[in-house]
Amino acid sequence: MTPILKYIQDNYTPDDARQARKIVREATKYVVVDRHLYRRGFALPLLRCVDESEAEYVIREVHEGICGTHIGGRALASKIVRAGYYWPTMRNDCLNFVRRCDTCQRFAEGHKAPPERLHSVMIPWPFHKWGIDILGPFPIAPGQLKFLIVAVDYFTKWVEAEPVATISVERIKRFLWKKIVCRFGIPAEVVSDNGTQFASKVTTEFCEGLKIKQLFTSVEHPQSNDQAEVANKVILRGIRKHLEEAKGRWADELSQVLWSYHTTPHSTTGETPFRLTYGTEAMIPVEIGEPSPRVSFFVQSNNEEELRTNLDLLQEVREIAHIREYAVKARAAKKYNKKLIPRRFNVADLVLRKITRKGESNKLSPLWEGPFRIMEEVGRGAYRLEQLDGKVVPRTWNASSLRMYYS
């Protein structure tokens, strides 16, 4: 602003002809009043021009002063103009100031668009990969039962569940052995969250002894274990509707909820988990109350032959279900990825982490905490973090739970 002021007051122009013409042209937009430079405005007749130090004060006072409420960058620039101030880089300076404001960053809304492409998980054969999770606490049932261990096979969607009184490493180990290994064989992979019951030394050694690969989901991104999450929702919905007010009987009704799930066609495979597991459809009560064709025309010899045929065709049924699931997931991924706004962080970047401790927060609490430093990129949107003093933050964190911190 100084060259324009000198030109208006002293008729001074620089030796560079091009620069001189620019100053003369721009000077028509300005006027000097009481030795202060003003710009002719549209919102107001005159806008006082301020230098760099004055601009910093104006921004800070309007943004976080007595009458400031940490408004956004564009609104901040507009408010400053309406207050009667101007400098050439006002808009960018306001945007940069708000972007670096510690308070604004901690209270910023979360990102709506996904930061990473949807990675669909396709499994080659039944019982190759299981997802395992813990539900609860529920209302205490007979036997002091209040938790539920749930496991689901990624291929057939078959669910195994067991109510327990407490959650411990030994119970998880016993569940894996009794409900999965002894019934369906040794799986190749088991997916779970980073809970101490799953990530403990005992569980890890148990899985390593059976050559089972453990996969852990990143915090705040349970979609990585989507099969278990879907099964959890189905079980919870079934228990709620089945029990209504008698919540203490949930453990007794669990088997009926699972039976209903196992005999219902899955939306992705088009087949029931029971058929993909055993090769034929289960007999359900309605077929007894109102005889179905296979009940009405039941012939023992034909029935045995049909069962053998079903077993012979089971591999083909599974392959068709696998293809159907691939098509469904491909359509879902295409729709999901349309909303994608890629968001990646580099090692050593400073980030804020979404606050997940709901018990310690309220509507006036910050939404983000930190800053933390990116320690390692694990892949597929997951990162390991460390505090600024070098202390490693446990578990991995998904990009959807992180935002860049500007200092």
Output 184 or 335, whichever has higher pLDDT. 184
Instruction: Report the C-alpha gap between 129 and 157 in whole angstroms.
Output: 10
Residue 222 has pLDDT above 50, yes or no: no
Angular region, 84: left φ>0, alpha ψ -120 to 50, beta rest:
left
363 lies in the same domain as 237: no
pLDDT in tens, 59-107: 999 999 888 889 999 999 999 999 999 998 999 999 999 999 999 999 9
| Domain assignment of residue 97, given as a range | 1-107
Query: Model confidence at 375, in pLDDT bands (50, 70, 90)?
Result: very high
Mean pLDDT of the region 272-293: 89
Distances in Å between the Cα of 168 and the Cα atoms of 147, 174, 197, 228, 286 are: 11, 10, 6, 19, 40
Q: Where a domain ends, among 53, 76, 107? A: 107
pLDDT band at 249 (very low <50, low <70, confident <90, very high): confident
Across 294-322, average pLDDT = 83
The pLDDT value given to residue 336: 79
Q: Specify the number of domains making up the chain.
A: 3
As a whole number, the mean pLDDT across the chain is 85
- Residue that terminates a domain, selected from 56, 73, 107: 107
Assess whether 329 and 356 both reside in one domain.
Answer: no
pLDDT digits (tens, 9 = 90+) for 1-54: 577 767 767 666 777 777 778 777 777 888 888 888 888 888 788 999 899 899
Q: What is the CATH number of the domain that holds 176?
A: 3.30.420.10
Percent share of the chain, pLDDT over 70: 92
Same domain? For 315 and 208 the reply is yes
- Judge if 160 and 282 occupy the same domain: yes
144 and 211 in a single domain? The answer is yes
Both 167 and 272 in one domain: the answer is yes
Same domain, 179 and 274: yes
Same domain, 225 and 355: no
Mean of the pLDDT values across residues 294-315?
Answer: 81
371 occurs within a structural domain = yes
Query: Between helices 2-10 and 17-27, what is the axis angle to 10°?
Result: 80
The predicted model gives 314-338 an average pLDDT of: 87
Of 212, 240, 314, the residue nearest 271 (C-alpha): 314
- Comparing 238 with 285, the larger pLDDT belongs to 285
Between residues 98 and 138, the one the model is more confident about: 98
Pairing of strands 30-33, 213-216: unpaired
- Residues 92-125, buried b or exposed e (16+ Cβ, 10 A)? ebbeebbeebeebbbebeeeeebbbebeeeebee
Taking the whole predicted model, whether its pTM rises above 0.85 is answered as: no
Taking Cα atoms as reference points, which of 128, 154, 134 lies closest to residue 211? 128
- If asked whether residues 326 and 181 sit together in one domain, one would say yes
